[in-house]
Amino acid sequence: SGNKSDGASFGFKMYILLVLTLNATGYILLIRYTRSRDDVPMYFSTTTVLLSECSKLSISLILLIKEHKSVVGMIRDVYHNVLCNPSDTFKMCIPSIIYALQNNLAFVALSNLDAATYQITYQLKIITTAVFMVVMIGKKINPMQWLAIFLLFAGVAAVQVESANTKEDMKHYNYMKGLISIIVSCLCSGFAGVYFEKVLKGTETTLWIRNVQMYLFGILSGLVAVFTKDYNNVMTHGFLYGYDVYVFVIIGMASIGGLYTSIVVKYLDNIIKGFSTAVSIVMAALGSFLFFGKSFGYLFMGGSVLVTVAIYLYSLPKPAAGGPQKARGPQ
Ligand code: NCC
């Protein structure tokens, strides 16, 4: 399975991962910013999640038009592989429901606690993802690699503690509600990510058709969320109540982040995605220290060392029975 990643160059992968990390950080900061303002009317977050799914569907269809170099080609592809293939299409039902839950929970969490706590706690996802890789794909992870996964979690968390701006006022705080939302999010993200990977790599259906299937159900799930949580709000105030440019930027970032996530899972895998985003987080923190001329402290340095050791330990060759095995680690 090491050959799965051969389809793209190293530089391309690094570029994708850096965009993914920077985009995710901006996304989280912007959600936190818009959810903690109290001088403007508050938008309904379920509508934002729904519009993100619509946006990702539109972009996927446009990419399919480009791929086929014709609108008719795109329509044919979607007709044959989505509409006429319901059993295949329905495979995307479960992950898109779980992602809908996770995407809505991000707004709940960031309405209740600060962005730094969110990003740090969210790193727990590294561990939940590994557990689901073992349980669902049957991936073999040896004790040394488990150690690496825990060190990675600790290292990234430490780096983020130091680079985070914690001087935020504590209004709207419901810490418990926020934390529980994050923990459920980590379980959702791990499960849905591995599920998507398993279906994507286990069948012939192309990435963009998978995404079209995913976002069709995503729109349905998003609609259910709007109806169950904000039906009365939308009916009295309107669907786009409280929207301003920031909210539209959030939708744009959610689209970029989601589509890039699917590309990363196609060319790499969910665990390597965790390792690689860890590296980009360290790089981004380093960049911001250098950029703002700040000196970095022990937490950043210690955290970076932990991340580096984790990568080394994870990529050590496995002492397998029956012959030498190739190292499987982040490349
Ligand atoms: O949590 P995470 O991703 O695993 O969430 C995956 C996001 O990608 C969308 N997705 C997934 C597969 C697919 N085929 N299409 C998709 O659109 C899902 O809907 C879900 O939103 C990460 O690895 O840390 C990452 O984190 C998110 C986000 O920061 C967190 O979920 C916190 O809210 C990033 N999303 C954005 O930046 C918008 C993602 O890029 C990376």
Residues constituting the chain: 331
Ligand 1 atom nearest to CA at 254: 38
Q: What is the pLDDT of residues 238-291, one digit of tens each?
A: 999 999 999 999 999 999 999 999 998 998 889 888 887 788 778 777 877 777
CA–centroid distance, 261 to ligand 1, in Å, is 6
Q: In degrees rounded to 5, what are phi and psi of residue 138?
A: 70, 25
The domain spans of the chain are: 2-315
* CB of 221 sitting under 6 A from ligand 1: no
**Contact call for residues 108 and 177 (beta carbons, < 8 A):** yes
Please check the confidence at residue 1 and state whether its pLDDT lies above 70: no
* CB of 216 sitting under 6 A from ligand 1: no
**Contact call for residues 34 and 247 (beta carbons, < 8 A):** yes
* CB of 23 sitting under 6 A from ligand 1: yes
* CB of 110 sitting under 6 A from ligand 1: no
* CB of 214 sitting under 6 A from ligand 1: yes
Q: What is the pLDDT of residues 293-306, one digit of tens each?
A: 777 788 888 988 99
| Alpha carbon separation from 106 to 179, 185, 211 (Å, rounded) | 11, 7, 21
* DSSP assignment letter at 8: S
* CB of 261 sitting under 6 A from ligand 1: yes
Ligand 1 atom nearest to CA at 273: 23
* DSSP assignment letter at 150: H
Q: Whose alpha carbon is nearest atom 27 of ligand 1? A: 24
E strand or H helix at 112: helix 93-112
**Contact call for residues 206 and 64 (beta carbons, < 8 A):** no
Mean pLDDT, range 205-214, rounded to an integer:
97
* CB of 106 sitting under 6 A from ligand 1: yes
pLDDT for res 6: 53
Percent share of the chain, pLDDT over 90: 60
Of the listed ranges 66-70, 71-75, 241-245, 263-267, the least confidently predicted one is: 263-267
Structure tokens at 257: 């982040």
